[in-house]
Amino acid sequence: MNPDSAVEPLSYTPEEAAAALGPEWTATLEKAYRWMALGRAFDARMQGLQRQGRIGFYGAATGQEAVNVAAGLASTSDDWVFPGLREQLVALVRGLPLEEYAHSIFGDALDPARGRQMPCHPTARPAHYVSMSSVIGTQISQAVGFAYALRHRRERGVVLAFFGDGATSSNDFHAGLNFAAVFDLPVVFCCANNQWAISVPAERQTAAASFAAKAPAYGLEGRQLDGTDFFAVYRELSMALRSARAGGGPVLLELRTYRLTPHSSSDDPRRYQPAGWAEEGARRDPVARLEAWMQAHDLLPADRRAKIAAAADTTVRAAVRAAEAAPPPAPETLTEDVYASRSSGPAEGTE
């Protein structure tokens, strides 16, 4: 968030910004900026903790904040999120307490998933944020089935299915989009194309003109967006959600972002990213772009900005402190939740 770095400016007039974000646009902007700052601060802190060996693993979403915050703010409490690998900020915006998320990263006794998953795999049922797996793409067909169930029960919700560029090659992308189209379900497919599947660049992931261009293969509309432009993402996501809610069927959005950090703490992108890529990405930093626009329009005075940064820092520190103070899960939780009742295991007859 260096205000001096030359970022690609967001060229919106205040009127256009209001059109994209709705009548409460300045309040939405303020909220969005605060969430982005928190997300960025949390990512930075966690990467530091991982280097110190205090957590085992971390996958940052740095560069994807505009997408995540827009999805969190544009969706309603009726909607459901099936995340890919980097949508934790969506859960936070939708109500997952940061402290609880920190517990899940530390895998401690207060983690609702009892420390069973690697860091960055939170489950947040109250926020309508479904348990994720490390397997690429499997959530896509699940999201489609979930949307079938919503419609079956005549509920208003729309399902947001997130995945990355790499997941477009997966089995479940193919089955999920095909099923969603055949059954005309309320799903918004969000492909957060951060241009790298670990070391494979998007242009080696597929020979298609774009990921959005895959939609017509299923009889769907696909739209490619600048995922670092908060206004565009918010506007298009809102439209897609409205349309799906009104029975307009599924749509595929390709949100083009830049992965500004390694794939995960286990990855070293210097091995494969070409020179200049990181610099290009920095110019497209979604947080810096929004910040520059707000500053240019007198919506983010320096003292306000400093206050937000300090608040984010305090919140993050408190969450980490709470998580580090919590004990590990009790040993007996190891065999819980395999089946509904513990006696349902393979050897029930002997209990």
Partner 1 sequence: MTEAAHAARSHETSRSPSAEFPKGRRLEAYRWMVLARVMDERCLSLQRQGRIGFYAPLSGQEAAQVGAAFAMQPEDWIFPAYREVAVALVRGVPLRSVFDQLVGNASDRSKGRQMPNHFAFSEIRFVSASSPIGTQITQAVGASMAIQRRKDRIATIAFFGDGATSSNDFHAGLNFAGVFRTPTIFFCQNNQWAISLPRERQTRSATLAEKAAAYGFPGVVVDGNDVAAVYRTVREARERALAGDGPTLIEAQVYRFGPHSTSDDPRRYREDSQVQAARQRDPIALLKATLVQDRVLDEAADSKIWEEARAEVAEALAGAEKEPLPDVASVFEDVFAALTPRLEEQRDEALGMHGGHRP
Partner 2 sequence: MTELTLVQAVNRGLQEAMRQDPDVLILGEDVGVNGGVFRATEGLQKEFGPGRVIDTPLSETGIVGTAIGMALYGLKPVAEIQFLDFIYPAFDQIVSELAKFRYRSGGQFPCHVVVRAPYGGGIKGGLYHSQSTEAYFAHTAGLKVAIPSTPADAKGLLLTAVHDEDPVIFLEPKRIYRAVTGEVPDGDHRVPFGKARLVREGSDVSIFAYGAMVPTATDAAATLALEGISAEIIDLRTLVPLDERAVIASVEKTGRAVIVHEAARFCGFGGELAAILAEKAFYSLKAPIARVTGYDTPFPYSLEHVYLPNTDRVAQAARTTVRAG
Taking the C-alpha atoms of residue 204 and residue 211, their distance in angstroms, rounded to an integer, is 12
Taking the C-alpha atoms of residue 60 and residue 39, their distance in angstroms, rounded to an integer, is 9
Task: CB nearer to partner 1: give 26 or 210.
Answer: 210
Among 138, 168, 264, 265, which residue sits at the site for partner 2 (rule: CB under 8 A)?
Answer: 138
Contact region for partner 2 (CB under 8 A) — 105-113, 234-242, 297-305, 310-318?
105-113
Taking the C-alpha atoms of residue 232 and residue 257, their distance in angstroms, rounded to an integer, is 12
Asked if 224 interacts with partner 1 (CB under 8 A), we say no
Asked if 189 interacts with partner 2 (CB under 8 A), we say no
Asked if 148 interacts with partner 1 (CB under 8 A), we say no
Task: CB nearer to partner 2: give 178 or 315.
Answer: 178
Instruction: Point out which residues pair with 124 in neighbouring strands.
Output: 129
Taking the C-alpha atoms of residue 46 and residue 162, their distance in angstroms, rounded to an integer, is 22
Asked if 345 interacts with partner 2 (CB under 8 A), we say yes
Contact region for partner 1 (CB under 8 A) — 23-31, 117-125, 170-178, 231-239?
170-178
What residues are labeled active site? 259, 263, 272
149 phi, psi to nearest 5 deg: -65, -40
CB 202 within 8 A of CB 193: yes
Asked if 160 interacts with partner 2 (CB under 8 A), we say no
Distances 128 to 219, 281, 300 between C-alpha atoms, Å = 28, 31, 32
Asked if 182 interacts with partner 1 (CB under 8 A), we say yes
Q: Where are the strands (E) in 241-343, listed by range?
A: 251-256
Among 52, 209, 271, 298, which residue sits at the site for partner 1 (rule: CB under 8 A)?
Answer: 209
Contact region for partner 1 (CB under 8 A) — 125-133, 156-164, 212-220, 256-264?
212-220
Tokens of 305: 């900005």
Asked if 219 interacts with partner 1 (CB under 8 A), we say yes
Asked if 175 interacts with partner 1 (CB under 8 A), we say yes
Across the chain, which distance is largest between two alpha carbons, in Å? Answer: 72
Task: CB nearer to partner 1: give 169 or 333.
Answer: 169
Asked if 251 interacts with partner 1 (CB under 8 A), we say no
Q: Is the dihedral of CA 299, 303, 304, 309 positive or negative?
A: positive
